[in-house]
Amino acid sequence: MATSETVLQVLSGGLPCPYRLDPFSGGVNSAPSFCSDVKCGRNRGLVSKKFNNRVRLLGKCTSRGVGAVKSCGKVKCAHRWESMRCKCQKAESFGGETANERSPVSLPVNGVDSATNIFERGSFALKGKEETRSIEEEAWDLLRASVVCYCGNPIGTIAANDENSGSILNYDQVFIRDFIPSGIAFLLKGEYDIVRNFILYTLQLQSWEKTMDCYSPGQGLMPASFKVRTVPLGSVDSATEEILDADFGEAAIGRVAPVDSGLWWIILLRAYGKCSGDLSVQERVDVQTGMKMILRLCLADGFDMFPTLLVTDGSCMIDRRMGIHGHPLEIQALFYSALLCAREMLAPEDGSADLIRALNNRLVALSFHIREYYWIDLKKLNEIYRYTTEEYSYDAVNKFNIYPDQIPPWLVEFMPSKGGYLIGNLQPAHMDFRFFTLGNLWSIASSLATLDQSHAILDLIEAKWAELVAEMPIKICYPALEGQEWRIVTGSDPKNTPWSYHNGGSWPTLLWQFTVACIKMNRPEIAEKAVRLVERRISRDKWPEYYDTKRARFIGKQAHLFQTWSISGYLVAKLLLANPSAAKIFVNEEDPELVNALLSANPRRKRGRKGFKQPFIV
């Protein structure tokens, strides 16, 4: 493995050249000229360098004032200095309007210019002659204004474009998970380049050395977020270059590795192919390698007795301590979905037979485990209530030794007579009975839950609308941890106070996954009801990241405004409801082969004695 400051690999080939303003290029929608002959395995074609734990993709754009030559690998493109003004140009090209018609152009900061000041924040509805912009139009403008460019190519969207926020923290970065709804919105709009670029650039980040206090996590890890930085070149007066800085958790609050990033990346890759019809991206050698690296990391043998992925607290959307370490449902649903997506995309070749076998085995075991042991409804709850404990045997009913006293009083009231859900986590002697929304919704989308379970989850959401949706969709989890439990589990986290942020806060971005789940179950009217709720206030409230209180009445205490995934989540929901069949690009239908495998390999059968020969007769 290379060390800092070491040039790892230098390959010639076309780096993504700025094409947007290049009068000689094929226009705004022409594909960037990525390294064409991608034969490379690990470093995959781009000229790359590791420097002080930052990734420098030396396809950097160096600019030296008007008329400067931009160097992109070997390719030199005549460029004007203004080509660094990525976002305005992007907004223009996406929107079909010219930026100049709307605003003065401003310089980029972190790869994003302040194009948002082309709109007067929060005043979309009342501009000029009482011009009323629809919420959707406003959302598109905001989404386009959040686009980040690298070397003139759109590669992602920043987490929040809240210029009035006192603490930006890392919200000026492109988060992998946050980009998913943005990417899908662009895909559904037929704007594919940004997603293609995102997939390929984040892939470049994957294989870089990442260390924290001399320790490196697994090779396939995808970053939580990255940032485009424009820095002076040093050698030449006023010349600058753009650098991608990736964060794999080494800088993140709590230093948690984002397990979900790679899983989302695979899901987006499949959606890109399905939506654009361009399968050349998933067929690339480097993309296949990247996918396998993620899979190998997830499928690696460990000490586990369970097929579920064992992760630390905060390794997904809930990215700080909330008592979700172990085998949280969200990760399992994404894992299952990513395995199915990868299986569709992996090129059959001798070298991957073992991987595909491991993947298939895991799918069967994982779906059995979740469907059987995570599922809870009134009947199951009553069974747990009457569990016998301390069963030492291979065929125990209460396999995980759950003490009935663990059933929390709130659950007895909460569980409707019709409906059920998958619990948040299962560990030896511990069931986390909290309802986690994303895990449940993605279990529906990915068919990790059975058809009956999927309907039951939606039944429960309908029955418990006042608790789970209330005034703004939708609670990240239910109920909130309070008092001593909050103190112990969150470590007295002042951001995760009861009914705020990750601790029972309401997150509008979840609307898109909710819509996917409702459409898959042919119950779009439930999602429509939620969209109507969102439309009542989200624009007026300036697109907050989350809402607080039991009924989601307040804008979150520390919520960022103009949060991109709140905006794109809404847009995806609208686009899908207008064209429900488009949801196919990310749902996974129940695989009949898998069901058969599950039946024939039924783990519920008595522990077998296959091959066991009684050595002697007594």
Contact footprint for ligand GLC (CB under 6 A) = 159, 175, 177-178, 317, 319
Q: In angstroms, give the least distance from the CB of 477 to ligand GLC.
A: 12
Q: Which amino acid is at 244?
A: L
Q: In angstroms, give the least distance from the CB of 387 to ligand GLC.
A: 35
Q: How many CB atoms lie within 10 A of CB 34?
A: 24
138 or 319, CB closer to ligand GLC? Answer: 319
Question: Strands 7-9 and 554-555: what pairing?
Answer: unpaired
What is the rounded distance in angstroms from the CA atom of residue 585 to the CA atom of residue 269?
Answer: 10
Give kind and range of the element (H or E) at residue 241.
Answer: strand 240-247
Query: Which residues make Cβ contacts (< 8 Å) with residue 157, sequence separation at least 6?
Result: 143, 146, 147, 148, 174, 178, 179, 182, 564, 568
Q: How many CB atoms lie within 10 A of CB 58?
A: 17
What own/partner pairs with CB < 8 Å and gap ≥ 24 does 28-34 have? 28/93, 29/93, 29/191, 29/193, 31/193, 31/196, 32/153, 32/193, 32/197, 33/75, 34/200
- The residue behind tokens 């073992």 is 354
Q: In angstroms, give the least distance from the CB of 355 to ligand GLC.
A: 29
Q: In angstroms, give the least distance from the CB of 316 to ligand GLC.
A: 7
175 or 248, CB closer to ligand GLC? Answer: 175
Q: In angstroms, give the least distance from the CB of 236 to ligand GLC.
A: 36
Residue of minimal Cβ distance to ligand GLC: 159
71 or 437, CB closer to ligand GLC? Answer: 437
92 or 260, CB closer to ligand GLC? Answer: 260
Q: In angstroms, give the least distance from the CB of 217 to ligand GLC.
A: 18
CA-to-CA dists, residue 579 to 214, 270, 525, 586, angstroms:
50, 19, 13, 14
149 or 252, CB closer to ligand GLC? Answer: 252
159 or 517, CB closer to ligand GLC? Answer: 159
Backbone angles phi, psi at 232, to 5 degrees: -65, 145
Q: In angstroms, give the least distance from the CB of 496 to ligand GLC.
A: 10
21 or 476, CB closer to ligand GLC? Answer: 476
322 or 457, CB closer to ligand GLC? Answer: 322
What is the rounded distance in angstroms from the CA atom of residue 552 to the CA atom of residue 538?
Answer: 12
Q: In angstroms, give the least distance from the CB of 257 to ligand GLC.
A: 14
Backbone angles phi, psi at 3, to 5 degrees: -105, 170
